[in-house]
Amino acid sequence: MASSSLGIRIRMYRVGFGDFFLVTLGEHHIIIDCGVFKGTSATGDIGSIEAAIADMVKVTNKKLALIVMTHRHADHIAGFGRFVDVFRDFTVDAVWMPAWEDEYNPTAKKFQAEMTALATQMQAQLDLHLAAGATVDPELYHRIGNATGNEPELAAAGGGGSKNAIALDLLKTGLKVKPAYLKEGDPAPLPASLKSIGLSVQVLGPPPVEDVELMKLMDLKKNVGEFLAIASGGDDADGDWEPFSRAWYADPSELESSAFGEWISDRGRSESPSPAAVASARKELEKRLQAAAPSALDLAAKQLDAFLNNQSLVLLFTYKGKNLLFVGDAQGGNWEHWLYETDSADKAPTGPIAAKAKKILDTIDVYKVGHHGSTNATPIAVAREIREGSVALCSTQKGVYGSKPDTAVPLAKLIDALDERVELVRSDQHPITVGSKKVRAEVNRDLPEKTDGTLTPGQLWIDYAL
């Protein structure tokens, strides 16, 4: 175990594509997320999360001062759902979740229910297109599956389908403690066990639920549902995808042949094309429209993915003069709210940040890299302003997500920019052993040596002790 003069240790478990952190302050333990997801390459789950949870059980003796769920994506909560019986056996002093999970906030409750319905329907639409032989961008699997928590392999083995739903139920009702639903500026409701040791926490995100425009969480039925049928009754209640209302439908046999003119081949063009030419053109138009459906799904999936990430709980822990910043998968609006002290999402990313935000970044000792090192979760201002020489922990897995260089996670350009400013540590730079299986390192990097604390690799983790 890494030596610790201040009694601070952050254990970053290597589970693949997912966050699972155990923060130990003296004799008290905090879990920040517990998830994993296989991703577009189906290699994101490296099979280590069960062993990681077993280690956490041993270290904590089934006592947790705090569980933090940053947001409801599977790569942050799947472990709670898969190992619900293990967690039910814990003594937990407090559970914190983002304000968007508040069952008593009508806006939040309505939005989350609508989002879940849309994600589930998107999964059904994707299945239909795949069954019809359509070519679908593999990133769709990740975006939709991460939002729903559906794991077909586990369901086939009798483990149920949606692990996200099981995880949420556990965290909200299954641990014998009422969760605190937090937003920016809320006082952190620390349990007595953490108050007694002098821990303080600033809640920096998400923005208030009322800041809908900032979060880009507008009416989903208008801004995502246009791509999908909404299973809420009416003409599309049967689940068939209908991009236009029935008022715009017409019997193709009643349309003038000129309606298909641009789809008629040059050989068939004339003032009076043959019925065969019109029928062929009609089929070609139908084929093109059907091919566009996966693109619409992709647009909707990207919207929902961003919506969920932007709900992330962002916390600044201060203990014995050290500052630890955990940001979940926060994206644009979430960051901008506290970096620029704005209620609108139109700030230029190169503009000056607020004095309070600059002071925070100037004093960071540990930064949990947002969204596994993706392009949209660590703003340029943060990469430039964060305290030089601080340690950045990036829980990630190479080659799991992002089919193009500019969408790859982690993003090489961002990793390089952080490397110039901080001491970066990746979970996948260290080989681990799961049972008798050796899981290799995905990148060739040495652990930084010039830090304020001690970095130590373990069987399933990398520890940073201060």
- Amino acid, res. 264: I
Q: Computed from CA positions of residues 311, 326, 89, 162, in that sequence, does the dihedral angle turn out positive or negative?
A: positive
Decide: helix, strand or coil at residue 21: strand
The total of other beta-carbon atoms located within 10 Å of residue 362's CB is 13
H/E stretch holding 152 reads helix 152-156
What CA–CA distance (Å, rounded) separates 30 from 422? Answer: 24
Beta bridge partners of 97: 181
Asked if residue 334 lies in contact with residue 342, where contact means CB atoms within 8 angstroms, the answer is: no
Q: What is the pLDDT of residue 128?
A: 75
Q: What is the pLDDT of residue 263?
A: 60
Decide: helix, strand or coil at residue 63: strand
Instruction: Give 10-residue mean pLDDT values along the chain (466 residues).
Output: 77 97 98 88 87 98 98 94 96 97 87 80 76 71 76 45 85 96 96 97 90 49 41 37 52 58 55 69 64 61 81 97 97 87 67 92 97 88 93 93 76 92 96 92 92 95 97
What CA–CA distance (Å, rounded) separates 386 from 377? Answer: 14
Would you kindly state where each structural domain of the chain is located, as residue ranges? 8-221+304-465
Q: Write down the CATH number for the domain with range 8-221+304-465.
A: 3.60.15.10
Q: What is the pLDDT of residue 224?
A: 44
Q: What is the pLDDT of residue 245?
A: 52
Short-list 396, 430, 436, 433, CA closest to 415: 396
